Amino acid sequence: MLPSVLPTEADHVSVLADEVLAALAPRPGETVVDCTFGAGGHSDLLAARLRGEGKLIAIDRDPTVEPYFERIRRTHAIKARLLHGEFSTVLAQLADNGVRADAILMDLGVSSMQLDRPERGFSYAVDAPLDMRMDPSAEETAADVVNQTDERELAGIFVRYGEERYARQIARAIVRRRDNQPFLRTGDLVETIKAAIPAPARFGEGHPAKRVFQALRIEVNDELGSVERALPAALEMLRPGGRLAVISFHSLEDRIVKQFLRREEHNCTCPPDFPVCACGSEATLRAMPRRAIRPSAAEVARNPRSQSARLRVAVKVG
Ligand SMILES: C[S@@+](CC[C@H](N)C(=O)[O-])C[C@H]1O[C@@H](n2cnc3c(N)ncnc32)[C@H](O)[C@@H]1O
């Protein structure tokens, strides 16, 4: 279902916007790919730099971004396309079709619109269907994961993607409850989590369901798998001198990006005990700067959701 009101800037505050603009620095005539269009905040800034000459390719797996895209398309007199789909698949198809890009952005995770719309089921704060799909046409919902995954694997998901301390207790309580009554709503899951953890942990830092909800969201949307698959496709699409910028909000995501950049910077495939490189492989990317860029204190104060953001930037060489 499309949003019933016209989109506004308040729908999603773009994170590290100045830093992304400085890193990607699009010039008139270039092709920019925004893999995570969302409310189009980053796209708006990047498209403005094309000054009427160039192309914006916007991707999002959530079809409700369409009104935001229409606004950007009307504002900037550039060629612009919105492609609905999972970005690793779309990038691979574009690369196979010979489409090339000068700047590619991935601003990973969910948007404020997805988090704040109760019917999407991402929030532990309101009772809603247990959904969490970024693409509402995708097969698996959070309810499917919670009702069908075996206890050990559920606990593993909560540990891996949520670093949940009481993962085993929560997984056990979920399995016990679903034997009588399957989970359909976020409220049922929140109650089960609260009842499964020791009383002091219910009143500790943050909401007691926060980590489990984050873990389920990452699992339902295969967020880490998407990034793993998308980075090589993005590299293939980039022209020499093209820029890649990735904002991640989770340490596992950031690690995937960091390791990819390191591998592409040191493309040597020689065994580690070779004294000098004999394979002749050349670096394909150069990270600039080498370390991740973090939001300023002022940005975090303005937009607390930016706190965990890490921006990594690289330039294609060769
Ligand atoms: C953090 S928001 C992007 C916000 C945007 N940069 C802005 O300034 O408004 C992430 C968006 O990317 C989309 N998304 C996340 N992972 C995706 C994937 N693997 N494929 C396609 N879209 C994805 C989400 O649906 C969401 O709309």
Res 198: pLDDT: 84
The predicted model gives 13-30 an average pLDDT of 97
Residues 271 and 241: beta-carbon distance below 8 Å: no
Residue with the two structure tokens 């295969």: 222
In the CATH scheme, what is the code of domain 9-113+223-316? 3.40.50.150
In which band, very low, low, confident or very high, does the pLDDT at 77 lie, cut at 50, 70 and 90?
Answer: confident
Average pLDDT score, the chain: 93
**Cα of 209 from ligand 1 centre, angstroms:** 23
Between residues 57 and 282, the one the model is more confident about: 57
In this prediction, residue 269 carries a pLDDT of 72
- pLDDT, residue 220, reads 98
- What average pLDDT does this structure show over 295-313? 96
What is the residue extent of each domain of the chain? Answer: 9-113+223-316, 139-220
Section 152-170 average pLDDT: 97
- How is residue 232 written in tokens? 């090589």
Per-residue pLDDT band for 10 (boundaries 50, 70, 90) equals low
What does the pLDDT read at residue 202? 75
The superfamily in CATH containing domain 139-220 is Putative methyltransferase TM0872, insert domain (1.10.150.170)
Tell me the three state secondary structure of residue 304.
helix
Residue 194 has pLDDT above 60, yes or no: yes
Query: What is the share, in percent, of the chain residues with pLDDT greater than 70?
Result: 96
- CB 256, CB 228: distance < 8 Å: yes
End-to-end CA distance of the chain: 45
Work out the pLDDT band at 303, boundaries 50, 70, 90. Answer: very high
Rounded distance between C-alpha atoms, residue 102 and residue 238, angstroms: 6
Prediction pTM value: 0.93
Asked if 132 and 141 touch (Cβ cutoff 8 Å), the reply is yes
**Shortest-distance atom of ligand 1 to CA 43:** 8
In the DSSP assignment, the letter for residue 292 is: P
What is the residue with the minimal CA distance to atom 24 of ligand 1?
Answer: 110
Please state whether beta strands 310-316 and 238-248 pair in parallel, antiparallel, or not at all (unpaired): antiparallel
pLDDT in the model for residue 8:
57
Q: What is the pLDDT of residues 207-252, one digit of tens each?
A: 899 999 999 999 999 999 999 999 999 999 999 999 999 999 999 9
Integer Cα distance of 194 and 3 in angstroms: 32
Residue 2 has pLDDT above 50, yes or no: no
Look at residue 100 and tell me whether its pLDDT is greater than 50.
yes
What is the percent of the chain where pLDDT is above 90? Answer: 84
CA 107–ligand 1 middle distance (angstroms):
6
pLDDT at res. 104:
98
For residue 114, report the distance from its CA to the centre of ligand 1, in Å.
10
Residue 307, CA distances (Å) to 223, 249, 298, 304 in order = 19, 8, 11, 6
Please give all residues whose beta carbon lies within 6 A of any atom in ligand 1, as ranges.
Answer: 12, 14, 36, 38-42, 59-62, 65, 86-87, 107, 109-111, 134, 226
Q: Which two tokens stand for residue 291?
A: 């370390």
How remote is the CA of residue 7 from the centroid of ligand 1, in Å?
A: 16
Q: Between β-strands 101-107 and 31-34, what pairing exists: parallel, antiparallel or unpaired? A: parallel
Has residue 9 got a pLDDT over 90?
no
